[in-house]
Amino acid sequence: MTRDLIQKLHTYAGLVTFVNLLVFGLVGLTATLGSRPHDPAPEVRSEAFVVQPNLTDRQVAERVCGLLGLSLATPIQSAVIQHDAANNLLLDFYHANGRHRVTVLETEGRLRVEVIRNSLWSYLGTLHATTAAFHSGDWRMQLWADYNEFAMWCFLAMLASGVALWLMSRPEYRWAQWSLALGCALFAALWYWTR
User: Which pLDDT value is given to residue 154?
Assistant: 92
| pLDDT for residue 83 is more than 90 | yes
Q: 133 and 78, same structural domain?
A: no
Q: What is the predicted pLDDT for the residue at 110?
A: 94
Check pLDDT > 70 for residue 166. yes
Q: What is the pLDDT of residue 120?
A: 81
Whether residue 47 sits in one domain with residue 31? no
Q: State yes or no: pLDDT of 133 exceeds 80.
A: no
Please check the confidence at residue 134 and state whether its pLDDT lies above 90. Answer: no
Out of 98, 118, 138, pick the residue that ends a domain. 118
**Is 187 domain-assigned?**
no
* Residue 29 neighbours by CB distance under 10 Å: 11
**Sheet bearing 81-83, strands edge to edge:** 43-48, 110-117, 98-105, 89-95, 81-83
- Residues 104, 134, single domain; the answer is no
The residue ranking higher by pLDDT, 79 or 28, is 79
Taking residues 114-138, report their average pLDDT. Answer: 83
| 16 within 8 A of 76, measured Cβ to Cβ | no
What is the model's pLDDT at position 138?
A: 85
Residue 104 and residue 155 in one domain: no
186 belongs to a structural domain? no
Is residue 12 assigned to a domain? Answer: yes
Check: CB of residue 148 under 8 Å from CB of residue 86. Answer: no
105: in domain: yes
Same domain for 50 and 23: no
Do 99 and 61 belong together in one domain? Answer: yes
106 assigned to some structural domain: yes
Residue range(s) defining the domain that contains residue 100: 43-118
Say which range, 82-96, 101-115, 134-148, has the weakest mean pLDDT: 134-148
Task: Determine contact, residues 132/116, Cβ cutoff 8 Å.
Answer: no
Res 35: pLDDT: 61
Q: 119 falls in which pLDDT band (50, 70, 90)?
A: confident
CA of residue 157 relative to chain centroid, distance: 22
Q: Assess whether 92 and 63 both reside in one domain.
A: yes
Please count the structural domains in the chain: 2
Region 147-154 average pLDDT: 90
pLDDT category, 101, cuts 50, 70, 90?
A: very high
Calpha distance 103→82 (Å, rounded):
10
Assess if residue 7 is contained within a domain: yes
Within-domain flag for 192: no
Is residue 137, in this structure, part of any structural domain at all?
yes
